[in-house]
Structures are given as C-alpha cells and as structure tokens.
Structure 1
C-alpha cells in the first residue's frame, strides 16, 4: 500500500488461531528424563504394565536376558544391547503381550579374580596367603558393587524390567541351581574325566574352552629339525626325517612323527650349499633328508641348499626315528615312530608333523588312535618344564609374573640351542601367524596335557530327554527348530556345534560354582547318590557355593566312607554358569514360561552364551531353552575402527546421556542396521540429534494445533477432504509396516518410515497446506475440523508407534496433552480402520506432489532473485501436459496446494484458453524440472490487496477492514463468541 493509502482499523492478530502448547521446542532431555524415570519408578511401571496385560488375558512373551559381566561401568556396546532388549520388551507390550524380562548378571570367573589378586598385591599380600573364604567374599563384594553401578546405568537408558528380582549367577539360589544342573550331567553319564591336551593359560593358571580363546597375529620362531631314521627301508637308513614347527618348546615332549599316506615322500641328498652366506648353515653336502616331494624346494631354500638330488621314494610305514636330543641325554633315548594321520598336509612345512601328544589336539588323537595311552606331562600349570624334563627343567614357556607376564620365556631359545648342540637343527626362521590367546587376559595360551572334566558330545545318552541321541545330535536338531534374526546366524552356530570338541567344564580357580561332587578313588568314577546331591544343593542354597569349600565332607556324604572319596574342588566353566540361567530364571517362577521366546545378544555369543545355553539345555531337557535368537554386531567408531581407550575413539554412554540425553542413544540404536557392525561418534550423534528434533517438532506442532480439540468436532470419513483422506491412508499404510517391523524386530523399519512420514507427508505437505485453515478458518469450518481430526488420529498413532523407541519424549507428549491420563507406556497399538485405505488418494497425491515440486522450484528461484517475497504474493500459471496429472487436481484448490494466493492450471493442448496464451515455443521458455518434464510454470504476481489476517492477496480485499471474505466471516464469529 502507498504511504497515503488507507490503513486497517484493527489489529487482527488476536483472532488468529495460532498453535499453543507448553511442550517446549528445546527438549532438555538430560534434565527431563530423570524426572520421567522417577515417575515411572513411583508407578512401578513395568509391573503395572504386566498387571494390565494379565487382566486382559494377554499372551505371554519371554525375553531372557543374557547376563553381562559385573566388572565395570557400562560401555556403548552394553548400551546398544540393553536398548535393543528394551525395544523388544516395550514393542511386545505395545503389541498387546504380557512380557517377562528379568535382567541378570554373570559374576564368576577370572576377570574378577584378577581384580582381587591385584588389590591383594597392592596390600602386599599374595593370593595363597588369603583363605579361600576371604578371597571368595572379596570377589562377591566386588561383583555386587558393579551390579549396582550397571543397574543404574541400564535404568538411566530407560530400560524397563523386573529389576527388583534381578538374577545373578552368584546368588545363593543361582549357585545351587547351577550345581543341580551339573548333577544332571553326572547322573546321565555325560560327564567324564580325561587326561588330554587342552588350551591352557599359564597367566591365568587354568584351562580354557574354545569359546574363551581368540586369535591374534603373533611372531613365532620356526625350526626345521632332523630326526635320524633308526628303522625303515634301506633307502631311509642313514637319512633323517625333517619336521617343521612353530613351537620349538614342544620338542622335549615329542613322541612321534605324523605323515599322510596320500603324500609322496622321497630321500634327497644335499650336494651343494649356497655361497656368499654371512653364516655357516647347518646343512652340509652328503646330508640325506626325507621330505614331501611337493615341499622339497621350500625346505632346501630354508636350509640354504643350492643343489640337491632326489635319491628314491620312501614308504613311511613302520619307520622309526631317534629323538633329536637323544645324543645329549639318556632321557630322550627312545624310538620315535612314524604314525599315519589325515591331519597332515603338504601345503606348508615338510609334509611331516612333529607329534607331542601332550601339547596338541591332533597330536593326541593320532597318538591314541595308534594304541598309545601314556601322555607325557612336560609343562606345569605355571607354563614351566617339570623338574623331570631333562636339559630344560624349570625353564618357562610363558612368563607369568611381572612386566613380562604373557611374553614367551626362555624355553624356545633354550631348545633351539640344544638342537644346534646335538647337530639336529637344519634351519630356523620366524613366522607371523594367527595364534590363540585368552579372550579375557589377551595373553598367549598353550596346549597342555592335564586331567580335566568334560561333557561328551558324541556318546548316545539313554535319558528321557535325549532318547538315545548324542548331545551333538540333540543340539543340531534344536538349531534347526530355532528361528534366527538375521537368518545367517543359524549357519554360524551350526558350523561351530558340528566341529566343536567335548565340552571342557572344569577350571582350576577359586571364584565360581564348584563341580560339587565326589569321585570314588577305587573306580575313578563320580559318586551318584541323589541324597548326597540333595544335601549339597540345599547347603549351597543356604550358604552359597562357599558351603562346598567350607563344610566338612561328612556333611554331604552321610553314610559313605569319606576315606574312599576324593572331593573335587575345581570350579565350573563360567559358560556352564550362564548356560544354566534359563533353569533358575524361567523355571519355578510365576508368570513366565520355559522355553524363552527370544534370546538377544551380540554375534560373538554364537560361540558363547547361545551355544552354552543350547548345550546345557539340550543335555538336560533335550532341546534349546529358546525359540528364537536375535544377534547384533559390534560398535565401531565413525571410521569403522575398533574402539579402544588408547586410541581415544570410544563413546561413553554416560557422557552422551549427560550432554544430550538417553533418547539420542536410543534413536541411534533404532536407526542403525544392528545386524551388522554399527558406527557411532560425534558426527553420527549430531545427525541423530537432528532426526530427534524433526520428530519432536512434528509432535510439538500437533500438540499446538490440537489445543482444546474435542471429539465433538471430529469429522466422519465420508466428509473428509482429499488431503485428509490421503493422510489417513498413509496412517493405515504405516500401521501395517510398524506392526510387521516390531513383530520381526526390525526397528529401523519403524523409525525411518515414520521419520520420512513426519518430514514429507506431515511437515512438508499436510501441515504446510493446512496451516492456513488451522490459523484462519473459523473453528466450525469443515476443513479445519477435518484437519484437526486427522491430527488427533496421527498423534494417537505416532505416540504409540514411537513409544518403544523414544519412550521419554512420547511420555512427555502424551501427558502434555492428557495430563490426567495413565502413562503412554500402558497403551497398546490403536486399531487403524481398514476403511482408511485409499489407493486412489495415494496415487492422486503422488502426482500432485510431483507437480508441486516444480511450482515451489519456480517460486524459490523468484525469491532468491528478490522478485517475490512469499509464495502468497504469487498467482502462478501451471501448464500440465499429462492428462492424468492434471486430472489429479480435480476437487482440489491448486492455490491451497501450492500455498499461493491464486493459481491457474490446465493443459494447452486441449484447453482453448491456455492454448491462446501459449504460441509456438512458449513453453520451452518456462520453468521446468527434467525429472517432471510434463509441468511448466510461469510466475505471475497475485492481484489485489493483502488480507491483514491471512496474508493472501485477493481482489476481494478492500478498505477499511482489509479482510478477505473468509477472514471477515471468521472475525465476525470470533467477535460474536466473545460478545
């Protein structure tokens, strides 16, 4: 308006129905979340939901919690795992189930023992100076402390469950149940004591199971050793069989050499040594060496042999060699037979395998297979040679004390020096290869012969549960009957169970549940007496596992002669502990069931808890303790690298919660594909925070627009305008997607489609189009009422759909709108009418949105060129060459859709009016997008004055009110309501 033009006589701002809500734009999650948690705690939320579901007769769903280890504050991996479990619990509640979830902890084992030993050393005390009772008490107190710390950390993440009745493997009742499960294996005959090589950690001074071993790169010394032939064919006499090994320290334990009957071997004569060497090689012209034909070139190169000659092939059957140290000490003057074994290959080495049956699984098996029974004991529990080992007594294979703990000791170099002295070393070198290390200590391990207790995998068991099957067969059948998420988990655990050895369950430590049994000294068999077992279990239930170690044996044996029985004081493998948790968590408790519907852990638990639970349950119940397994990957930094404190690339969940709130961690967990390794860091968390703000702002806008909404103003479906029908269709569509995603645990298929819906269908389309009606139409106008009705239905569903993933924000939103209502968490998914499905509106609005992108593109160009301020200053000419797209606007107000004051659209090919405005070549000069080639837009300024209330420019707007007809009517109604 010009300066001298008439001015409005009234300020109409008070008549505009702007959104109003106390729901703040800034979430303040670090402060708000603890307040919500306090209310949930006051309401006893988890139990309140269960009670509500049980009253409704809801089906039961059981998620059994895999126990984290109680030895430190939670890390981001813990946060991901427990958050995923909470997604399951809350989503199953939302789907109408009664959900049983009892959080638990694994408390026994080496890491806690080390911590206590470390504390004792700090006090100047040794472990062997402390009574077992005091030591176990300190371990128990340490674990209890970290249970409390982790419990608070998990609760702060918003994880709900039966925290008051949490389980721990060190609880007296738990220890008693674990021992009772162990007794079942004793009674069924599946348990046996065997003297065989097992993986042994000298640093930890205990045997390790396969699940406790991981492999890291390691540089080992390599040696090629000559074993002179003493018995064999004429061609072999005077020759030496050459072996190659990366463990020289096992040479004193050698008792045989393994070969493969399918490999061709020959005698080779050394004729010439390489020249120009800086040292004198151990090979010499005239040496007669027996090696695999395929590997002779590699052997000769290692020995620095320039020229050699093949003499003739040899048959290894019946051949016997001399031990390479025989000429240094009578202790080694025994025959070393050659034994056929399928484990021998000609891929590397010499084609022969040095065989020390006390230090290798294959070595042991081939030794036993050929009728030998005596297994030499060479290395003690500390990783040092026993005093009876000639030449090397007391030398350590691995250091176990001080700064060098975990490093290889003097044994390897000492053996090599003696081989040189004996004239039996042909060559030596170094090799970087994958070597077994303890999962917990990270120190190298060795194979060591020691008596241990095992559970048989391959012996048929005639119990009701196994029915003549072996444990392996029962476990493999159980795997086939289990659902896996993702599906490839089945192949992974199956391959592990197919190839695993017998289950080693004994450990030579102090902190754990005991192998509480007696062994008959005459028969060497475990005592199986139900009354003895019952006394043991009852004592442990009353006093904990300490009762086994503290009480006299007569308390348990009753009438049995204590002189006849050996009391076993080994402790159980901690995987047996955790594998038994189903027995005391899912059985003999109210409102739960066995088996569990779901186990959920990281993918590493295919070799850990999933497998130990499978084996324990298959051995005692004939099937798995779960119907389904869900696995997630590991958490990596933003560059995909493993997190470590030394790198400084860790993400501490406590810091994220303190700075941004637990909701941000939860949204991150919901948005990732958890089946793969997932990345997290500052940039990713910032992107997550952006997504959170978009969702929060969507909810906030609806809360404001729905202020004072009453069901009385709701509009029936048949009265809804096309846009509202489209949004209802999208709600129907999303409802099906959300339900399916929650049923199959694919949480990103909830949050990502819902986020897209909020951004594209609500904010960018529905809200943007309807804000004019919401702000400016009179309250009883059909369009405004329809929009608010649809917003009400949308709010009802969004706060439900997102509740498992964003419980804090959805609770805040729900109670902001309904302050007197029960917790949002008590709700189930609202039913979405099938009548909301509207394929026509879905197709129509896909076309309309495509046209809209061209119109808004042209308006944006004009805005940037400062030719226009707001879209309401425009009256675009929109020419649509596609008939279907043009007809999609039938029944719509295009100006309303494009958010302009006016609009003209049509097709110049069949609209005479438009054809007259479009001479040849006209359209090619108008705005167009390549991806929407059938739409051309010409910008035109809107005519008329600006309405002082709705800001549209229309010819009908005149002085003195400067209101359009619609706003004039709305103001009159507003005034009348307040008269």
Structure 2
C-alpha cells in the first residue's frame, strides 16, 4: 500500500554457513574483541620455523604459509568457562581501565588464590589500594582467553619452570598447525624470541576403510577396547606401528586381519628362536671371530637391518622401522638362515662347535629383536624375554646393545652365493611341481658357470651346498659363459636321522641307516 516502505520482496537462495556440530545455520555479527598483533615478530617466527625439525618434513610448508598469511590474533572469547581476561571498563564510557599497578595486583591475587578469583571477588577486592575508590564506577570484563592462547603458553609452566626449554618434541594431530603448534610458537617467539620446541610431529586421524570419519551415527566406529578384548592389546599396538601416520590412518576388520598375520609371523619367529635356545645360555656363547661363516653372515645382515631400524625410529618413521624388521625376520632370518641351519640345530651335538656357533648368533639376535619389539608389541616381547631370562628379569630394564658386526668382504661373497641360490631354488621348485623331487634334499644339482666364476664356486661348493639344502652339488664350467642349472633326483641313500642323502661309503658300518656325520655327532 501507499504507506509501505518495502518496494520489492523475493526469496533468494544462497550458500550459508552451518555449524559442524549441531548442523544448524549460523549468524555472523560484529562484536568488540581483543586482538594481539603478530606483525612485530612474524619474521622471527618464520625464521624459527626453519630451525625446527618437522615430521613428516612436508608439513613445514603448511605452518609456514599459515604464519606468513595470518592476520592479528583474536584472543578473546565469550564463554562461561575459561581463563578470564582481567580488564575493567568504565560504566559510562566503556573505556578500558588498566595499568601496570592494576595488572601486578591481579597477578598477585591469581598466583595466591587462582584465576577464579576474578569471578569470585568484588571489583574493590581486585583493585590495588590506590584505586579502590574507583570500584563503583567500573565493571569487570567477562571475556575469556582463547583456549589456544591458554594452551599455547603451556611451555611457560611445563618447560621453563623445570629448566628444560625448549621441548624435544611436540606431538599432536595435523589440525594443530592452526592451533596448538602455532599458538605455542607465537607466544614463545613473542616473549623469548625462540620456538618452544626442537621438533614437531603431526599425525592424521583414524578413519574407516573408506577414508570416512568415524561416527556413531554412521555406525562405522571400531572401538579399541573391543579389539583388545578379542585379540589382545599387542594387536592394536602393532596396527598403530604399522600405519603411516603422516596421512589419515585407516582401520577395518580386514586391516586388523592383516595385522594378526604380521603378529603371528613375529610370534612364531620368537618361538622358533626360543625353541633352539632351550639348552643354551649366554656364558656358552663364542665370539664373532670364532663363529662359522654362515653365523657371521647373519649377524652382519642383522647389523645392517638394525641400522635401518634405528634410523627409522630416530626419524619417528615407526612403520618403516617395523617394515625393515618384518622383512629381515621373513627373509634373511627365517627363509634363509634358520632354514639353512636346521640341520645343525636339529642333528648336531650340543657340544659341537657348529651348533654352539649358531646358538651364539641366535641368542644375540633374539635378545636384540625382543628389545626392538618391546616398544611395539610390549606384552609379547616381555613374555618371550621372561621365557628365556626368568620372571625377575623384565625386558624393560634392558637396552639395545651398541654392537654392530661389519664385514664387507663377507657380504660381497654371500651376495654371489645368494644370487646363485635364488636361481637354483627356482629350478628345484620347477622339479617339485613336475614331481621329479619331493624336497630339496632329494635334489642332485649341477651348476654351469663361466670360467671367471668357476674357481670361486668350486672353492665354496660345500658352503653353497649348505645354502641350497641339497644332498648333491656339482660345479662345472659353462660352454657359452651362461649360468645353467640342472636338477635331477639323487641316487644316493637317505639317512634316517638327518634325512640327507649320501653315497653308500658315507654310512656307518655299525648302522646302515645312519650317516657318518650323524654317527660322529652322536658320539660327542
């Protein structure tokens, strides 16, 4: 009508912000707030960022850009709980009433009676003696400090009071570049000119197998307590250690089943090592120099793995360290060394040098391996340690040794042996599929190598035969300088004790089913 001031009205659809927690639309309104300027120390903060070790390294770009582009910091909040901003306002003009004397008095009250004094005491009780007459003209501020300012100054009480500033490591989720990591950096640089930490590690969040955030409403939550009750705490610990935390960390029943398989391999490795140490103690060990070559080799390989493991842990790459450990246990240790040494461990005398040498190496590896696993599968490592060393000897009172075995010539030699071994095992496997042989012990292997390598393999034929776990081995020169492997079934006779095959003149005169090797071992 003629009196209406509204000329035109229509509905307009536009994007609108919603509160992530309640799912309801939000309304923006301008309010008076307290701000802290960061311009005066922003460059110092950026310089300090480059002095800090960031894990994973790429995250330095994220916090650098955030600090570089940040505006003034709004440090006030309107909440019913929190650390109060101790400011008085004039009732009429709303001007701030605050000076050093008032601040010092409030600091003294907070130190003696706590920050809740601000809400509990009257204005007159909060003011110093010289200003009590102004109490009736003032009102208390009701703003609280931003919680990130509050937690961002935790270094002050936690580190400086204990004289350990700066911290070795700050550890939190990847959302804290905008929060705790940044607020801690800014408050420390503003007051000390230095970052409050030497290193910062960030991790992703646990999500389901599809990368979705876990939520009760979605029904995709996997509760740690339930997993622990079903499988034990070490499964959860192993899962955490196996994951690359630099991104989101997935969990599902299928993932946990994979973790269970890893756990079984580790547990079985420890059980096998323990089983071959039941009749052996540390005081029976021999030195590295006295050991058989195969035992020296596994200790040198173990030392290489140990260096990689420690380097990964020093860089907080726990999943890589665990990967190195699993690879060593599955390959060099179980598939090669322990497989090769079964004959020595099962059929040789307890007094034989070969068995003592092997057990010396196994004991060293068991001790080191158990200690390496202690931070990961703590309960299993402790159980294995107590089984070997007794109930009153916890693994957590021991440290990893600083012993590393090195022998570059030995490694080079065994690289050649392992190269040939891989070729031969492939041919043996083909022969097994074709039903030519049942096991490698039934194999008669003929290897042809070029002239340059012939001398090396002939000199080391006994060692290579041991590595191949075969009963017969012949090394010949190749006619065309190519490596050729031929596998047939041995015509030798089987020893009923060690199951290896020997020629007739290699059997005992007293027992035709017992080879001379076994007869010698039984006589010791």
TM-score by length of 1: 0.49
Partner residue in 2 for 1:776: 347
Could you say which residue in structure 2 is the equivalent of 1:496?
Answer: 66
Instruction: Name the SS of the counterpart of 1:903 in structure 2.
Output: strand
- In structure 1, the residue matched to 2:416 is 847
Using the TM superposition, give the Cα deviation of residue 842 of structure 1 relative to its aligned residue in structure 2, in angstroms. Answer: 2.1
- Quote the residue 2:245 is aligned against: 674
Q: Do the aligned residues in 2 keep the contact of 1:810 with 1:824 (CA within 8 Å)?
A: yes
The structural deviation recorded for 1:637 is 2.1
Q: State the alpha-carbon separation in 1 of the partners of residues 521 and 179 from structure 2.
A: 69
Question: Which residue number in structure 2 is paired with residue 631 of structure 1?
Answer: 202
Give how far 1:662 is off: 2.2
Distance 1:895 1:716, change over 3 A: same
Aligned position for 1:129? none
Q: Which structure's residues are more often helix, by fraction?
A: 2
* 1:758 shift after superposition: 0.6
Residue 767 of structure 1, CA deviation: 0.3
C-alpha distance in structure 2 between counterparts of 1:716 and 1:566, whole Å: 81
The answer as to 2:100 corresponding to 1:528 is: yes
Instruction: Assess, with a 3 A threshold, how the Cα gap between structure 1 residues 880 and 750 changes in structure 2: closer, same or farther.
Output: same
1:512 to 77, 82, 105: 82
CA contact (8 A) 1:878 1:935 kept: yes
- Cα deviation for residue 817 of structure 1 reads 1.0
Q: Which whole-Å CA distance do the structure 1 matches of 2:287 and 2:381 have between them? A: 27
Q: What pairs up with 1:252-263 in 2 under 5 angstroms?
A: none
Residue correspondence of structure 1 range 859-874 to structure 2 within 5 A: 859-874=428-443
Contact 2:270 2:366 in 1 (8 A): yes
Secondary structure (helix, strand or coil) at the match of 2:45 reads helix
Match of 2:469 among 886, 890, 899: 899
Q: 3-state DSSP class of the match of 1:651?
A: coil
Q: Could you tell me which residue of structure 2 aligns to residue 49 of structure 1? A: none
Mean CA deviation greater in 488-497 or 612-621: 612-621
Alpha-carbon distance between aligned partners in 2 of 1:746 and 1:667, rounded to the nearest angstrom: 14
For residues 192-203 of structure 1, the aligned pairs below 5 Å read none
Which consecutive residues of structure 2, in runs of 5 or more, have no partner in the other structure?
none
Q: 1:848/1:787 Cα in 2 relative to 1: closer, same or farther (>3 Å)? A: same
- Asked if residue 940 in structure 1 is aligned to residue 499 in structure 2, the reply is no
1:808 aligns with 2:379: yes
CA distance in 2, matches of 1:473, 1:439: 34
Q: Distance in 2 between matches of 1:672 and 1:600?
A: 16
TM-score, L = length of structure 2? 0.89
How far residue 705 of structure 1 moved from its aligned partner, in angstroms, is 0.8
Question: How large is the RMSD of aligned CA atoms in angstroms?
Answer: 2.7
Aligned to 2:121: 551
Does the 8 Å contact 2:437/2:488 carry over to 1?
A: no
| Displacement of 1:443 | 4.2
Verify: 1:953 aligned to 2:501, yes or no: yes
Inter-CA distance 519–677: structure 2 relative to 1 (3 Å threshold): same
Measured in 2, the distance between the counterparts of 1:551 and 1:804 equals 50
Please say if 1:609 is aligned against 2:206. no
Change (3 A) 1:612 1:419: farther
Distance in 2, matches of 1:419 and 1:860, equals 90
How many residue pairs align between the two structures? 512
CA distance in 2, matches of 1:538, 1:889: 84
- Residues 802, 456 of structure 1: CA spacing in aligned structure 2 closer, same or farther, 3 A cutoff? same
Structure 1 residues 554 and 429, CA, compared in 2 at 3 Å: closer, same or farther?
closer
Name stretches of at least 5 consecutive residues in structure 1 with no aligned partner.
1-326, 330-417, 459-469, 912-932, 974-979
Residue 713 of structure 1 pairs with residue 284 of structure 2: yes
Higher relative contact order (CA 8 A, sep 6+): 1
Higher strand share: 1
Q: In the alignment, what sits opposite 2:333?
A: 762
Counterpart position of 1:880: 449
Using the alignment, how far apart are the partners of 1:513 and 1:440 within structure 2?
A: 24
1:315 maps to none
- Distance of 2:79 and 2:369 partners within structure 1: 53
Contact 1:479 1:624 in 2 (8 A): yes
Structure 1 position 448 matched with structure 2 position 29: yes
Shift of 1:567: 0.9
